[in-house]
Every structure is written in structure tokens, then in C-alpha cells.
Amino acid sequence: MPVFTVKVKWGKEVYPDVEINTDEPPLVFKAQLFALTGVNPNRQKVMMKGGTLKDDVWGNIQIVEGQNILMMGSKDEDVPVEPTVKPMFVEDMTETQLATVTNMPAGLTNLGNTCYLNATVQCLKTVPELRQALSDFNASSSSSLSNFAPAEKITIAMSDLYRTMESNQTIPPLVLLQVLHQAFPRFADKVEGHYMQQDANECWVELIRMLQQKLPALKHKNDKSTTNYKSVIDQFFGGTFNIEWKCVESDNEEVTTTTESFLQLSCFISQDVKYMHSGLKNRMQEHITKHSPILGKDAVYTKTSKINRLPAYLTIQFVRFFYKEKDKINAKILKDIKFPIEFDAFELCTPELQEKLVPIRSKFKELEDKLAHEGIKPSAKQLAESKQEEKPTAPYWFENDYGSNNSGYYSLQAVLTHKGRSSSSGHYVGWVRQSPTSEKWIKCDDDIVTPVTTEDILKLSGGGDWHCAYVLLYGPKLLPLDSSSSS
């Protein structure tokens, strides 16, 4: 009987004295190899001079004594198990699936030129204290939404919408749109059967005004003092001006002072304005004509405004639209106005407030000096990863004024942009920071939610037909607590 002794090589293993009988089918030889290696015959690929060995016939293969044979194959336990859930590639995912696996926030369906509302809702959602207040809101006992006043309807609708958006799936904001139309019929105007485009800042202002009426102020868990604010909006979005009035036409008239509250600052765009800071400063001193009791006639006054209370969240509107009588539209100023990711409001404040801001500002400076001295300059990736750890931070508010800003330093956390040539056309998009301590940004274009970079955000300054910053939302810059001094 034709029996030969051959040498079998399998990976790094060598089996020198393996018997092979060519009168038996090749499967018998493969069974011998299975006993030696643990590789199942159906996973074996046996190669020798003359070709690759089959299971049933030897074919043209001629075996000789001492022949070298190569075997390839893996043991069953080394073979990856087929997953019970079929893998799906990013390219094949729907927007909803993509948002879920990448932890993207929920998108909002455009219900017909409602991008102005979607962008506003996404930007306001970046304020954790506002989300908390909406979550805590308890409506009166009536079960029907139609029985509520407009402010309460909008507050309930926003509370429900934010709660639903936690699922990270695309949501149609039907109820909020409906109650917005009921409260402000101009937002329901139609042309040729379709909703008209609306001004996103007008929507922002009206939503904030409605919430201001219904959301009570928050108390911090470590703050035992009573709050002076009736609303969470006044508490976290509201600031105050000290205003001096000086009559230009009379030296005998004394300078008078008044106070004004604000929920937004306006950045006026003129020919000489290139940066947001200068646009804000120009707004702080202006000439106003009003009645002079000394002169007994209308006179020009210099109105000088200084901030004496900084809110935790500073809203800044770029005044980009003006009414064009000839075309009867709100035309748009496309000019490039640079804005910072980190904003310092110190120069806009009264001397008294500046003095109060100094202690925390000094701590920020100490931290910067410490990092500079240690030569620490982490990469953007390391910085993002370290911030995601949610390290403890110092309070950003003054003692006995929860909701204020105690340093004057702000970090940009949302940008609402407009793309187009007039406020009644074009498209609005919300660009939001993923969390107050994150370096990651997200573009919320209705139901399409995608990650973007800080560089993409800085390109939103205007200057062309690309998305132009229209409303900016700054949050408090957070001071990390050193573990050695956190007590």
C-alpha cells in the first residue's frame, strides 16, 4: 500500500513525520491534520507540489517520501464569531441613527420656513439652568392646553419639547409652533399657502419674554439666601445699565443718572466697525434728543451707558437688518464682523462692578501664569478630553447673586446665523457647543445635525453669502478648581 512520510508546516509549527496513504481519500489525511492542529478540515487549505488538496480525490498530485506540505487555516476558537446584530456602516445610517450613535443632540423638523424657530430653540437649549427651570416647571391643574394663557402655553410646549429632545431623535416641534402662532399671529403669516420666513431674533425675544413671565427664579443648593429675582430669565439673562445723561447744549444743567435693564446687547454695524467689541462700545455712548427742563426745549444729550450687573448668559445681537424703503424689505448688512470665542466684558462695566470683578479675574490670571510657568500647552485633543471629565469648577456668580457673572469673562456657547439677503428670506441655522466645558461644536441645521470645529465657528463672521452670525450667546467662563485648594 502506498504510504509516505511527509513534513507538514502550519504557521510556525512543523510536524516532521506525518503518514499519508494515497489509497484513502484526502479527507482522511485532513482528519489527521485536524487531530494534530485542531484546524477543522473545512477550514484547511493544504498546498503541495501539483496543486491544492481537495477532499475527495488526489487529482494530479503525486506524493513522494519526505515531501514538504504547507497547511493554512485557523482553529474554530480563533475565528471571530459572527455578531448577532449585523454591523452598520456610518454611510448607510439614517440621520436619526447617526445622531444616536454619535451622541448628537436631536434635530428639529422644518415645518415650512420654521428654521428661525428651530435655530432659536437649539441655541437656548445650551443653557443648563434654563433646561432645569423648564424641567421643574409645574403648570396649573388644567389638563387642556387651550385653557392656558399664551405665556403658559409656550412655557409648557418648550418644557415638553426639551424633554422629548433628550431621546436624540429628530422631533417635529408641532405644539410649540402652534402656540407660537396663537400668541403671535404675525409668525403665522402665509404667502401662496406657505408660512413666510420670520426674523429669528424677534422669535428669540418673544420666547424669552414669555418664559420670563412664567419661569420662577432658581435657588442654588448651596445658597441659603433669598433671591431678588422673580424670573429665571432676569436671573440668568438679565443685566442692568447705569446711564448718565449730559446735556450738550447747556453747561448749567446737572448730569442725571438712571438705570435700565437689558436681556440683550446690540452690536451696531457701521463703516468703521470691524470687531464685535468696538460695535458694543459704540452703542454704550450715543447722542439722544429729548426735552431739556432748563432750556425749555428739545436738546441733544450724551447718553453714556455702563453695565453694573453682568448676567451669567450674555446675548448679543448683530444689528444686520435695516428697512430698505425702495424695495420695502429688511435688507441685510453682510459686512464681516469678527467675534471672539472668549469675550471679556470688563471695559463695558462701571468702575464699581470692575472692582468687584477683580478677585476672580486674578484667579484666572494665576492659573494662566501657573500653566505658562509649568510650560503646559496641551493639544486641542487633550484639552477636549480633559474638559469632558467634567472637573469641578468654582462658582461663576457673586455670593448672594446666583445667576450673575463674577469675572467678566465669557465663553461662546451658541451662534444663530442667517444665510441670505433679507430677514424675510434665506435660512437660519444654530451652531452650539456640545456642553459648557466641551471644545466640540455641533451644527443644527433643522433635522441635520453634524459635528463642526471651532475654526468653522469663527468663519461665521460674515463678509459674503455664507452663514453670518446674527445672535451670539455667551456663557460664563468656568474656573477649574485646583484639587489641592478646592476646599
Confidence band of 114 (pLDDT split at 50, 70, 90): very high
Q: Is residue 385 scored above 70 in pLDDT?
A: no
Q: What is the pLDDT of residues 132-190, one digit of tens each?
A: 999 999 865 445 566 788 999 999 999 999 999 988 788 999 999 999 999 999 999 98
Per the residue annotation, which of 267, 349, 427, 468 is the catalytic one? 427
What's the pLDDT at 102? 57
pLDDT reported for residue 487: 37
Distance of CA 369 to the CA centre of its chain: 30
Q: Is residue 181 flagged as an active site residue?
A: no
Q: Give the three cell numbers for residue 2.
A: 502506498
If pLDDT is split at 50, 70 and 90, which confidence band does 484 have? very low
The span from the CA of 78 to the CA of 75, in Å, is 5
Mean pLDDT of 371-378: 68
Q: Is the pLDDT of residue 382 over 50?
A: no
- Out of 115, 123, 267, 349, pick the active-site residue: 115
Task: List pLDDT tens digits, range 2-11.
Answer: 888 999 999 8
> What mean pLDDT is predicted for residues 390-402?
87
- How much is the average pLDDT of 440-460? 94
Q: Is 389 a residue whose pLDDT tops 70?
A: no
User: Which residue do the cell numbers 441733544 mark?
Assistant: 300
For the cut 90, the answer to whether the pLDDT of residue 100 exceeds it is: no
Residue 195 CB neighbours (<10 A): 17
Catalytic annotation present for 467: no
pLDDT band of 42, cuts 50, 70, 90:
confident
Q: Give the residue with greater pLDDT, 191 vs 411.
A: 411
Question: Mean of the pLDDT values across residues 30-40?
Answer: 86
Q: Which domains does the chain have, with CATH numbers?
A: 3-72 (3.10.20.90), 105-219+230-238 (3.90.70.10), 242-313 (no CATH)
Mean pLDDT for the stretch of residues 440-457: 94
Per-residue pLDDT at 474 exceeds 90:
yes
**pLDDT confidence of 428, banded at 50, 70, 90?**
very high
3-class SS of residue 462:
coil
CA atoms within 13 A on the CB side of 64: 5
Half-sphere exposure of 107 (CA within 13 A, CB side): 23
**pLDDT classification of 376: cutoffs 50, 70, 90:** low
The residue-averaged pLDDT of 80-95 equals: 65
pLDDT of residue 486: 41
Q: What is the pLDDT of residue 387?
A: 46
Region 110-119: mean pLDDT is 95
Contacts of 48 (CB under 8 A, 6+ apart): 61, 63, 67, 68, 69, 70
Q: What are phi and psi of 124, to 5 degrees?
A: -65, -25
Share of the chain above pLDDT 70, in %: 85
Let me know how long the chain is. Answer: 487
Query: Residue 419 and residue 445: Cα distance in Å, rounded?
Result: 12
Q: Are 316 and 283 in contact (CB under 8 A)?
A: no
Spatial separation of the C-alpha atoms in residues 153 and 32, rounded to whole Å = 79
Residue 485's pLDDT band, with cuts at 50, 70 and 90, is very low
How many CB atoms sit inside 10 A of residue 43's CB? Answer: 14
- pLDDT for res 90: 57
For residue 386, pLDDT beyond 50: no
| Summary mean pLDDT of the chain | 86
Reported as a pLDDT band with limits 50, 70 and 90, residue 64 is confident
Per-residue pLDDT at 61 exceeds 90: no
State the DSSP code for 255: P
Write the CB contacts of 103 (distance below 8 Å, at least 6 apart in sequence). 168
Segment 183-237, tens digit of pLDDT:
999 999 988 888 899 999 999 999 999 999 999 999 877 665 556 899 999 999 9
Confidence check: pLDDT of 383 > 50: no
Q: What is the pLDDT of residue 417?
A: 95
Pick the more confident residue, 198 or 373: 198
Determine the pLDDT at residue 143.
Answer: 52
Reported confidence tier of residue 388, pLDDT bands at 50, 70, 90: very low
Look at residue 381 in the predicted model and tell me its pLDDT.
45
pLDDT the model gives residue 169:
83
Choose from 6-15, 26-35, 137-146, 301-310 the range with maximum mean pLDDT. Answer: 301-310
